[in-house]
Amino acid sequence: MITSLRGVNLTGAGWAYDSDVTPISGTNYEWVSHQDIDYLASKGVAFVRLLFSWEILQPGLNAALDATYEATMHDRVSYATSQGMHVMIEPHGGDFPKFARYKGEAVGSAAVPHGAFADLWARLAQLYKDDSQVIFGLMNEPNSISTVQWFAAAQAAIDAIRSTGATNLIMVPGNGFSQPGTWHRTYYDTAVPRVSNATAWQVLRDPLDSLVVSVHTYFDSDGGGNGIDIVHPNIIGQRLRPVVDWARARGLKVHLSEFGASSANPGAQAAVANAIAYMDANADVIIGWAWWAYGPPDWWGSYQFTLCPTGNYTIDDPKMAWLAPHFAAPAAPEFAARHTVRPRRSYWPLVTVSVSLLMLTALVGGVRRKR
């Protein structure tokens, strides 16, 4: 059973790809330690979103995974699940504009085709399919691409995961940085006609009906988390409402996989409390949230939204007191598998993607661009 998916983002192991740099552990990236996981477990954290670098994990498209990086990642996943946590693993570009890219090329492009994205997720599914506490987050914040292109890539990954026999929960973001407040808008689509996330989601198919909408938003003016300003005490609820109402009408679930605030803003504590209260009140749809961020304290301790402790793990960041009472409740609904997983195949499901694209074309043929 999946319980409350409330917790934190574990960052540090991601990396902003640079063709002139060979990434080195401790220099260009750093995994959280067992001590970090122990600390979070002691605070009641039941969910972590563990971010990794696609380029480091898989140095070449369709190639074998890097043994050293994968072993460390697997160790952290296994250790966290041994502490009772659910762990979402997700590729992260390290920094904008490298989200939803591989070596600078967009997912679903000619340079990074659907089959290559499917290959990554098939390999990961094989590694983690026997652990129901592991959740697959397909990608961090797709942006500046065709919405159809992104959802076709997502479908390829879903099919590849299920073809291994994996029944793990899958979280799928939308285009436009997966902002919930713009779920019905189209300005973020680079193709013509422009398509909203709400429309494009209709082509996704999962034989287990175990897909969750993963969204990100913050309290600042553009919702991106670059500033510490809070535009309204209830801004998170206001931004979540469009996707929550849409999901409820379709029997879907939503996870707020990134949000965060700074204790330097005197209104932050109240705004965070309001955000959590909104999500509690809509727990029939919102199955959890993850604070941004927690990383190795010597790297992330000074970050504006950090949850890292000081004093050799003896002094909590002030924001931990805002969140700790809410990590365990309310419980999220169980996802029950309702269909049989398709048998494993030796080819990637490009036919499914093509059919989905045809369906989407029919859906959006009459859509007009918004101003």
pLDDT at 349: 40
In contact, 23 and 60? CB cutoff 8 Å: no
CB distance 218 to 225 below 8 Å: yes
Task: Identify the pLDDT of residue 61.
Answer: 98
pLDDT (0 to 100) of residue 350: 40
Hey, which residues are catalytic here? 141, 258
What pLDDT sits at residue 4? 79
Q: Give the residue ranges of the chain where pLDDT is below 70.
A: 1-3, 329-371
Rounded Cα distance, 51 and 312, in Å? 24
Question: What is the pTM for the complete model shown?
Answer: 0.90
Q: Which residue has the tokens 């480091």?
A: 56
Name the residue with tokens 């938003």: 217
Q: Which pLDDT value is given to residue 355?
A: 43
d(C-alpha 100, C-alpha 106), whole Å: 6
- The three-state secondary structure class of 10 is strand
- With CA atoms as reference, report the closest residue to 252 among 265, 261, 243, 260: 243
Whether the CB-CB separation of 167 and 183 falls below 8 Å is answered with no
Which residues, other chains included, contact 303 with Cβ-Cβ below 8 Å and sequence gap of 6+?
Answer: 293, 295
- Sketch out the chain's domains with CATH numbers: 5-364 (3.20.20.80)
Residues pairing with 88 in the sheet: 49, 135
Contact 302, 172 (CB under 8 A): no
How large is the angle between the packed helices 34-42 and 67-82, nearest 10 degrees? 20
